[in-house]
A and B are shown apart, each in its own frame.
Chain A
Amino acid sequence: MATAAQNSLRLLGRSPWSARFGMLIILIYVVTALGAPLIAPYGETEIVGIEYEPWSEVYPLGTDNLGRDMLSRIIYGARNTVGVAFATTMLAFLIGSIAGLLAATLRGWADQLLSRIVDVMMAIPPLVFALLILTIVGTNLINMILVIAVLDSTRVFRLTRAVAMNVVVMDYVEAARLRGEGLWWIMSREILPNISAPLAAEFGLRFCFVFLTISALSFLGLGLQPPTADWGSMVRDNATLISYGDITPVIPAAAIALLTVAINFVVDWFLHETSGLKE
C-alpha cells in the first residue's frame, strides 16, 4: 500500500497547474459543504432583514427575495445542491455499472435485452424525458433523484459494458470461472478493479452532467423545492436584481460553473495520465 500512496504522491507532483487548481477548488467546496453550519453567518432559512438588501458589513452579499442572507444560503447551497448531485451520480453508477457488468459477463439474451432498453432510453433527450416524468409523478426531491439517476445510468451502462467486454475475455477471468467462482465474485473482484480508471474519469464527467441537469431543473422550479437553499433556484428567485445592475444572482450560477470547470480540469488531466497518451 505504501508504494501506491507514493505513486499517487509522485503523480500529484507532476500534475499541471490546471489540475491542481481544480483539486483545490473541489477541496474548498467539500469543506464548505461539510462545515456549512459553522461557516455560514446566519441560518439556512432564517429571515434576517428586509427583502433585497444591498451588500453591507452585516450581510456580505445582501439578502434575497424573502430577506434571507445570500452568503449563508450560498454556503448551505454547497451542501444541498452538490450533495444531491453526488447522491444522484452514485445511484446512477450503482445501477449503470451493475447492469453493464451483468451484460458483459452474462452475454447472450441478458446483454441484448439491457442494451436495447438502453438504446431506446438514450434516443430521448434527457431533460425533456425528465420533464415528462416529473409532470406525471410530481416534482419532489426523491422523484427527481430517481428519474435523473435512471436516465443517466444509461451512459454509465454503455461505458461499463464496453470496457468490461475487453476484460471478460482475459485468461484470469476464464480461470476464475473454471475455479467455480460465482457471478458476483467475477464482476466485483476480477473485472471491476481492472476497469476502475475509466469509470473514475466517467464519474467526474457524469457528476458534472448530473449537477448541471439538477441545477437546470431547480432553476426551472422543478428540482429542489423551497425553502431549501439551492443554487439553481436562487438564481431564478433573485433574477430581477440583474436588471438593476446587481450581480448577486449570478454568484450562485458562478459557483456551479466554477465547480464543473474544476472537475473538468481534474478529469482532463486524469484521462491524459491513465490513457498513456503523451503528446
Chain B
Amino acid sequence: MGPILKMVAQRLALGLLTLFVVSLIIFLSVEMLPGDITEAILGQGATPETVAAFRRELGLDVPAHLRYLAWLGDIAQGDLGRSLASKRDIAELIGVRLNNTLFLAGLAAAIAVPLAVTLGLLAALYRNSWFDRGINLVTLSSISFPEFFIAYALIFLFAVTWDWFPSIVNVTPDTPFWERVYRCILPAVTLTLVTTAHMMRMTRAAIINLMASPYIEMARLKGLSSSRIIVRHALPNALSPIINVIAINLAYLVVGVVLVEVVFVYPGLGQLMIDSVSKRDIPVVQAACLIFAVTYILLNLLADILSILSNPRLLHPR
C-alpha cells in the first residue's frame, strides 16, 4: 500500500495548495480593482469623507495580508461577512440556497449517473449497431446544446403545451420531499441531458479501449458471453476513467446549475450569485464563488483519489 498512500498524499497536498491559491485569488481579485472598491460602489460623486468612512466600515484601512488572514479565519468559523446590497448576513443568505442547489444537483446526478453508465455499457456491447450510432448522434448533439436551449425546449413541451410540470420552480424549506422532487423534475432533466452525453461517451470509449486487450480475447476464447465479459472483465479495469468522468461531471453540475437556476427562477446559490454580480455586491459574489470553487476542487480531488484507488494495477503491485 506504500506507493498508493504516497500518491494519495501527494494529490491531497496539491489539492490543499490549489484551495489556498484559489482563496488568495478570490480575495485579491478585489484588490486588482482600478482605484478602490469603495469608489466602485459609492460612485465618483462620493466625497472623500464618505469614502474614508466606508473604507473603515469595510476594514480596508488594514494592510491586505492581515485582512486576508482575518477573512480566512472568519470563513473557517462560518462567518462570510455582510452583503453590501441588503446588509444581511451572507451565511444566513446562502444557507438555504446552498441546500436547494445541492438538492437539485444531487437529484440530477441520481438520474444521470446510472443512466449514463448503462447507456455507455450498452453502446459498447452493441458497438457499431444502429443503437450505438443513434446514441452517438443524440449525445454528440446534446453535448453541443446550450443549457438554456434544452431548458426552454422542456418548458415549452412539458410546462406550456402539456402542463405536466411547473415552469417556475419554487421551493421553501417546508416543501415535502416528493413535492420538491416533482417540482425539480424539469431542471433536473435539463442538467441530466447536458451531463449524460459526456459520461456515456467516456464509458463507451473506456470499455472499447479495453476490448482490444489480450485478457479480453482470452475470456472470449474461453467462450464467455459478451455481457459477462463486459461486466466482469472489462468494467473493473475501466472503472478508474469512468469514476473520473463522473466526478468531473458532478463538479460540472455544481457550476452548470447557475444557468438552469436562472431559467427556472429556482431559489439556489447560482441565482443569488447572478443577482449579486449585476448589483456588484462583491462580498456575496466572493462567498458564492468560494463555495462553487471549493466544491469543484474537492470533487476533482475526489476523482483523482478514487481513480488511483480503483486502479487494479496500483492496488496489486507485482
- Interface residues, chain A, CB within 8 Å of chain B? 18, 119-120, 123-125, 127-129, 131-138, 208, 212, 215-216, 219-222, 232, 235-236, 239, 242-245, 247, 249-250, 253-254, 256-257, 260-261, 263-265, 268, 279
- Interface residues, chain B, CB within 8 Å of chain A? 18, 21-22, 25-26, 29-30, 32-34, 128, 137, 140-141, 143-149, 152-153, 155-156, 159-161, 167, 251-252, 254-255, 258-259, 262-263, 273-274, 276-278, 280, 282, 285-286, 288-289, 292-293, 296-297, 300
Are the CB atoms of A247 and B22 closer together than 8 Å? no
Dominant secondary structure at the B interface: helix
Given A243-B167, A264-B144, A254-B149 contact (CB < 8 Å): yes
Are the CB atoms of A136 and B145 closer together than 8 Å? no
Are the CB atoms of B146 and A250 closer together than 8 Å? no
Given A119-B18, A216-B147, A128-B255 contact (CB < 8 Å): yes
A131 to B34, CA, bound (A): 17
Q: Which of A128, A219, A239 gathers the greatest number of chain B CB atoms within 10 Å?
A: A128
What are some 10 contacts across the A-B interface (CB < 8 A)?
Answer: A123-B297, A127-B258, A132-B29, A136-B33, A136-B282, A138-B280, A220-B262, A232-B148, A254-B149, A264-B140
A171 to B166, CA, bound (A): 65
Which A residue's beta carbon lies closest to that of B37?
Answer: A136
Q: Which of A131, A250, A257 gathers the greatest number of chain B CB atoms within 10 Å?
A: A131
Q: Top 10 A-B pairs ranked by shortest CB distance?
A: A260-B144, A253-B149, A125-B255, A257-B145, A123-B18, A128-B292, A125-B296, A261-B144, A132-B289, A135-B277
Are the CB atoms of B274 and A220 closer together than 8 Å? yes
Are the CB atoms of A250 and B149 closer together than 8 Å? yes
Are the CB atoms of A250 and B152 closer together than 8 Å? yes
Q: Which residues of B contact A239 (CB under 8 A)?
A: 152, 263
Are the CB atoms of B156 and A222 closer together than 8 Å? no
A268 to B254, CA, bound (A): 28
A223 to B261, CA, bound (A): 18
A264 to B274, CA, bound (A): 29
Are the CB atoms of B149 and A256 closer together than 8 Å? yes
Which B residue's beta carbon lies closest to that of A258?
Answer: B144
Q: Which residues of A contact B160 (CB under 8 A)?
A: 242-245
Are the CB atoms of B29 and A250 closer together than 8 Å? no
A129 to B292, CA, bound (A): 10
A208 to B252, CA, bound (A): 17
A112 to B292, CA, bound (A): 27
A78 to B10, CA, bound (A): 47
The listed residue (A124, A221, A232) touching B278 by CB distance below 8 A is A221
A263 to B144, CA, bound (A): 9
A264 to B142, CA, bound (A): 11
Are the CB atoms of B26 and A132 closer together than 8 Å? yes
Q: Which residues of A contact B285 (CB under 8 A)?
A: 131-132, 135
Given A131-B273, A216-B259, A250-B153 contact (CB < 8 Å): yes
Q: Which residues of A contact B29 (CB under 8 A)?
A: 132-133, 136
Are the CB atoms of A120 and B140 closer together than 8 Å? no
A220 to B33, CA, bound (A): 22
Are the CB atoms of B128 and A279 closer together than 8 Å? yes
Q: Which residues of B contact A18 (CB under 8 A)?
A: 137
Are the CB atoms of A220 and B259 closer together than 8 Å? yes
The listed residue (B21, B161, B297) touching A245 by CB distance below 8 A is B161
Are the CB atoms of B152 and A260 closer together than 8 Å? no
Which A residue's beta carbon lies closest to that of B288?
Answer: A128
A151 to B128, CA, bound (A): 37
The listed residue (A128, A134, A244, A253) touching B148 by CB distance below 8 A is A253
A123 to B293, CA, bound (A): 8
Which B residue's beta carbon lies closest to that of A254?
Answer: B149
A219 to B167, CA, bound (A): 18
- Closest chain-B Cβ to A169's Cβ sits at a distance in Å of 26
A133 to B280, CA, bound (A): 11
Which B residue's beta carbon lies closest to that of A250?
Answer: B152
Are the CB atoms of B21 and A120 closer together than 8 Å? yes
Q: Which residues of B contact A222 (CB under 8 A)?
A: 274, 277-278
Are the CB atoms of A242 and B144 closer together than 8 Å? no
Q: Which of A133, A261, A263 gathers the greatest number of chain B CB atoms within 10 Å?
A: A261
- Closest chain-B Cβ to A138's Cβ sits at a distance in Å of 8
Which A residue's beta carbon lies closest to that of B295?
Answer: A125
Are the CB atoms of B152 and A242 closer together than 8 Å? yes
The listed residue (B145, B156, B280) touching A260 by CB distance below 8 A is B145
Which B residue's beta carbon lies closest to that of A216?
Answer: B259
Q: Which residues of B contact A137 (CB under 8 A)?
A: 32-34
A216 to B274, CA, bound (A): 12
